[in-house]
Amino acid sequence: MFSRAMTGKYAVPAYNFNNMEQLQAIITGCIRSNSPVILQVSGSARNYIGAGFLPHLAAAARSMVEEARSAIPVALHLDHGNSFELAKSCIEAGFSSVMIDASHHSFEENAKLSREVVEYAHDNDVTVEAELGVLAGIEDEVVAEKSSYTRPEEVEKFLEMTGVDSLAISIGTSHGAHKFKLKPGEEPPPLKFDILEEIERRVPGFPIVLHGASSVMAKHIEQINRFGGKMENTAGIPEEQLRRAAALAVCKVNIDSDGRLAMTAAIRQIFAEKPSEFDPRKYLGPARDELTEMIIHKNTQVLGSAGRY
């Protein structure tokens, strides 16, 4: 997936899911737009679904692709794994890929733990993503007040020491729906493309991962607030910047918050307009449709992953 994304100058979407409707929307959106897809779950999402239940959901997603006679590749990935044991457990359960996120530790500790996971994962034909630099915000159960950008001069040594297959970097994105504190009318600051370009110069062709890449779409924030929600001072990464990153060394773009917002917006509208509705299919169904449309939009208009398979 990554080598094709690198030569094709696009990024593979990595969408987080926590339930059946999200998973169906992601798969349907990617089948319809002929896009490769990485289905990812955090440790807490895996606990929510149930570690034993999850492989069955993933198998069902694969069946959807086969039944549609689609050729899109699908990976199941652990997002922000925080221990060797969690990564091992996911590998044993059949994941195709795991992230070990030890980015909040020292360089040496990060490299040591990442190496340990790589050895076990590669023996089992599983690929590994690690992270260098720290993103502000919540990374699963890890909360960082301030970000620290990735230092390009550390990247080659880290890759040599660990043997990881892809690397998440910190260039100004962060997790969640409040990425920047902006004054009214102010634009989000540009991502640190100089860092990304310097990393690409040092390790040409190596797949880079961008976390915290939700755009926090205005239409969903407006819809949420119009129908009784209260989301203030939200800010995301402008689509234009994601397009630029996807054409450079960024091969995987992580999107979670935008999917949450799309579903919440649709559900709020139904609850507000039809207060007597109590059939979950009548609000989860439209929420799934809204998410499907969003996935097609991202693949087609932002990541460039549509029409590749």
Among 42, 97, 110, 174, binds ligand G3H (CB under 6 A): 42
CA distance 79 to 46: 10
Which ranges constitute the DSSP H helices of the chain? Answer: 2-8, 20-32, 43-49, 54-67, 84-92, 107-123, 152-162, 193-202, 218-226, 239-247, 257-273, 280-297
CA distance 102 to 241: 27
Looking at the Cβ atoms of 152 and 176, the one nearer to Zn ion is 176
User: How far apart are CB 86 and ligand G3H at their closest, in Å?
Assistant: 12
Phi and psi angles of residue 15, each rounded to the nearest 5 degrees, phi first: -105, 130
Q: Pick from ligand G3H, ligand 13P, Zn ion, none: which does 44 bind, CB < 5 to 8 A by kind?
A: ligand G3H
Q: Pick from ligand G3H, Zn ion, ligand 13P, none: which does 45 bind, CB < 5 to 8 A by kind?
A: ligand G3H
CA distance 123 to 145: 36
CA distance readout (Å), 237 to 25, 177, 253: 22, 10, 12
Nearest to 167 by CA among 177, 154, 180: 154
User: How far apart are CB 19 and ligand G3H at their closest, in Å?
Assistant: 11
User: How far apart are CB 33 and ligand 13P at their closest, in Å?
Assistant: 19
User: How far apart are CB 286 and ligand G3H at their closest, in Å?
Assistant: 23
Q: Pick from ligand 13P, Zn ion, ligand G3H, none: which does 140 bind, CB < 5 to 8 A by kind?
A: ligand G3H
Looking at the Cβ atoms of 70 and 239, the one nearer to ligand 13P is 239
Residue ranges binding ligand 13P (CB under 6 A)? 16, 79-80, 175-176, 211-214, 254-258
**Are the CB atoms for 264 and 217 separated by under 8 Å?**
no
Burial of 219 per CB tally in 10 Å (0-12, 13-18, 19+): exposed
Looking at residues 137 to 176 of the shown chain, list those that interact with Zn ion (rule: CB under 5 A).
none
Q: Map residues 236-275 to x or -, x wherever contact with Zn ion holds by CB under 5 A.
A: ------------------x---------------------
The pair of three-digit structure tokens given for residue 182, joined into one six-digit string: 């902006």
Q: Map residues 118-157 to x or -, x wherever contact with ligand G3H holds by CB under 6 A.
A: ---------------------xx-----------------
Annotation marks residue 279 as catalytic: no
Residue given tokens 């992601």 in the structure block? 26
Looking at residues 170 to 229 of the shown chain, list those that interact with ligand G3H (rule: CB under 6 A).
175
CA distance 221 to 193: 27
User: How far apart are CB 281 and ligand 13P at their closest, in Å?
Assistant: 26
Amino acid (1-letter code) at residue 69: R
Q: Pick from ligand 13P, ligand G3H, Zn ion, none: which does 46 bind, CB < 5 to 8 A by kind?
A: none
Query: What's the angle, vertex CA 124, arms to CA 122 and CA 125, rounded to 5?
Result: 65
User: How far apart are CB 162 and ligand 13P at their closest, in Å?
Assistant: 19
Does residue 211 touch Zn ion according to CB under 5 A?
A: yes
CA distance 141 to 119: 25
Q: Pick from ligand 13P, ligand G3H, Zn ion, none: which does 21 bind, CB < 5 to 8 A by kind?
A: none
List residues with catalytic annotation. 79
Residues that bind Zn ion (CB under 5 A): 211, 254
